[in-house]
Amino acid sequence: MNVLAVGCHPDDLEINCGGTLAKCARRGDKVTMVALANGSAGHKVYSKEEIARIRLKEATESAAVIGAEYICLGLDDMFVRRDYDEGVRKVSDVIRRVKPDFIITHGEHEYMVDHSITSTIVFDATMAATVSHYPSDYPEYDRFTPIYYMENTFMVNSFPEEFVDITDDIDTKIEMYSHHKSQAEWLKVHDNFDMVETIRCFARTRGLQCDTGYVEGFTLCKQIHHLPTKRYLP
Ligand SMILES: [Zn+2]
């Protein structure tokens, strides 16, 4: 199976679907992890350019834990909406190149616009990737890709319908996240919480609901052409 996961910022995928991606890798899937934005707003000390460089390195190391490719599409933090068309073009190119069996991304009603817009960009890109005359250096992709939406950040107003048991992958998820040192530091200052504790806490909450150890939840995109007749999640 070929999995394409598209987050907004360099650490969003680890937080919301890192266990599932690790499980996909364990079952032999090819995993591609993409961030639309470069993480340039996420630090108090480093300059925009410095923090973007650091976060590229950290995210690449995190993806390497599960043998995944990491691609940063380089939009600026807080300006993903302004760069909407560029985002659709870039994600469409990735879809044309990677040819995913399914995609994981943010839901449409997230806590910040960059996240919500990423969801819409990815949805539009799945259409753009199939259109012959849409601008791209790659030939069009011949299918509409099923999309699974990750849970909203911190599970706020989040009602998942698909569940992945990540009990055997929670340590890998945390190992992946541990490479995002600069962001973990900044979140302690800016938001006053420990992300590793938070990751465990939310995955364990869904785990309790599912009568197992640790779980990540998802919602299927229910639009024409996108409805799968089988489950792609592990
Ligand atoms: Zn984010």
- Is residue 191 situated within a structural domain? yes
CATH of the domain at 79: 3.40.50.10320
- Is residue 233 situated within a structural domain? no
Closest CA to 79 of 52, 50, 45, 44: 52
Position 42 confidence tier, pLDDT thresholds 50, 70, 90:
confident
Taking the centre of ligand 1 as the mean of its atom positions, its distance from the CA of residue 139, in whole angstroms, is: 31
Taking the centre of ligand 1 as the mean of its atom positions, its distance from the CA of residue 192, in whole angstroms, is: 16
Residue 214 belongs to what domain range?
A: 2-220
DSSP state letters, 149-183: EEPPGGGTT----EEEE-TTTHHHHHHHHHT-HHH
Taking the centre of ligand 1 as the mean of its atom positions, its distance from the CA of residue 161, in whole angstroms, is: 22
- Is residue 56 situated within a structural domain? yes
- Is residue 128 situated within a structural domain? yes
- Is residue 228 situated within a structural domain? no
Determine the average pLDDT of the residues in 212-227: 96
- Is residue 172 situated within a structural domain? yes
State the Cα torsion 38-75-2-198 to the nearest 10°.
40
- Is residue 183 situated within a structural domain? yes
| Number of domains the chain contains | 1
User: pLDDT for 76-123, tens place per residue?
Assistant: 999 999 999 999 999 999 999 999 999 999 999 999 999 999 999 999
Taking the centre of ligand 1 as the mean of its atom positions, its distance from the CA of residue 220, in whole angstroms, is: 20
Closest CA to 58 of 174, 153, 200, 183: 183
Determine the average pLDDT of the residues in 164-178: 98
Q: Please determine, for residue 44, whether its predicted confidence score (pLDDT) is greater than 80.
A: no
Taking the centre of ligand 1 as the mean of its atom positions, its distance from the CA of residue 7, in whole angstroms, is: 7
Determine the average pLDDT of the residues in 156-179: 97
Taking the centre of ligand 1 as the mean of its atom positions, its distance from the CA of residue 72, in whole angstroms, is: 13
- Is residue 165 situated within a structural domain? yes
The pocket of ion ligand 1, defined by CB under 5 A, consists of: 8-9, 12
- Residue pair 58/179 in contact (Cβ under 8 Å)? The answer is yes
Q: What is the pTM assigned to this prediction?
A: 0.96
